[in-house]
Amino acid sequence: MNFLQKLDSAVDGNNSLLCVGLDPDLEKMPKRFRDGRTPLLDFNKAIIDATADLVCAFKPNPAFYEVRGAEGIEELKETCAYINGRYPELPVIVDLKRGDIGNTNKHSAGFAFDYLAADAVTIHPWQGGKAVQPFLDYKDKGIIVLCRTSNDGAGEFQDLQADGRALFMHVAENVAKKWNVNNNCLLVVGATYPEETAAIRELVGNEMVFLVPGLGAQGADVEAAVRAGVNSTGKGLVINSARGILYASTGDDFAEAARAAATAARDEINEYRS
C-alpha cells in the first residue's frame, strides 16, 4: 500500500481530514513531563493515544526534536515507531522541509524514509525538479511540496509575478504536470489563504491532495479553507492542527482536552466537506 492509498483508507476509516502536528515544546507541555528521560516521546504517546481514532495522519516536525540533540532525534524516531507499531493504519508525515542539491537530498530522503520509516515528507521546490528527484524516486512515499504556505509574510516571494502568474502557481503547475510521474506528489497549501487554495485546486484538478496547515493557533477560517480546497469526493485535504490540540490544556487533563479539541476540529471540518 502506497502513501496515498494508506491516507485514503485512514480518511475513510476515521471519517476525518484532520492531521495532528506532533510539535512538542517542553515549555508548553505539562510540568510532569519535563524531568523525564524521554519527555517528548512520553507526551507524544499520550496525545497519539487520545486522538488516533479522530485523525487521518500524524505530522511530527523534526525541529522540535533536533533542539534536544541526539536524545531528541531518538525520541523522534521512537515517536514514528510508536505510531507505525500501534496504529499502522495511520500515515506518518515528517515535516522535514528539506531542499538542497540532489546528492544532499538523497541523504535527507534516506533519513526520513529509511531511518524514521516515515510515509511522507515535506520538501522545498526552490532548487528544481532535478534536485528533488531523490525524494520523488521513493515511489510509494508521499512527497509534499511547499507551494502556498500559511505563515504571515508568505507572499513576499510566493506572490511574485512571473509570466503573468504568481510564483506559487508555477510551483503548483510544475509539481502537477512534471514532477508527479509516480502519482506521489502533494502540495502544501495554507488554510489562511482560501482564495489562493481555490485557484490552485482549479489549476491542478481533482486528484492532487493538499496538506493544509494553519488551523487553530494561526487562525484560519475552517469553512473557507475546506470549501476552497476540498475535491468533488469531499476529500483531497489533510488539515493540520498542532498547538490548538497539543496545548488545549497544560494540566493533568491535557490528553482529555486534546481529544476534545481534536473531536471539535474534525467535526467542524466535516461540516463543510460536501
Which residues are the active-site residues?
97
Identify the H or E element spanning 93: strand 93-98
What's at 197, amino acid-wise? T
Identify the H or E element spanning 60: strand 57-60
What's at 212, amino acid-wise? V
Separation between Cα atoms, residue 226 and residue 273, nearest integer Å: 7
Q: With 0-12 CB in 10 A as exposed, 13-18 as middle and 19+ as buried, what is 171? A: buried
User: What are the b/e assignments for 98-109, b being 16+ CB within 10 Å?
Assistant: bbbeeeebeebb
The angle that helices 194-204 and 167-174 make with each other, rounded to 10 degrees, is 40
The angle that helices 39-51 and 69-86 make with each other, rounded to 10 degrees, is 20
- Other Cβ atoms less than 10 A from the Cβ of 137: the count is 14
Strand order of the sheet with strand 185-189?
A: 57-60, 18-22, 237-241, 210-212, 185-189, 142-148, 120-123, 93-98
Pairing of strands 120-123, 18-22: unpaired
110 and 163 Cβ atoms separated by less than 8 Å: no
The C-alpha cell of 229 is what?
480546497
